[in-house]
Amino acid sequence: MSKAQLQAFITKANANPALKTRLDGAIDPKAVVALALEEGHSFSEATWSRHLRA
């Protein structure tokens, strides 16, 4: 589920320039996870880190 939530968040960010700007400004995985939660998506810092390495 976490991976699906991550994909949904990325899709949403790519379609929303303001959200994309906020995502690009996130300074660490914790900030990304917090932003995702604000937008209704739940995934772990580890899931985000794995996404970045892929």
Direct distance between the N- and C-terminal alpha carbons of the chain, in angstroms, rounded to an integer:
18
pLDDT given at position 39: 98
Q: What is the pLDDT of residues 1-54, one digit of tens each?
A: 799 999 999 999 999 999 999 999 999 999 999 999 999 999 999 999 999 998
pLDDT given at position 37: 98
* Domain range summary for the chain, segments of one domain joined by +: 1-51
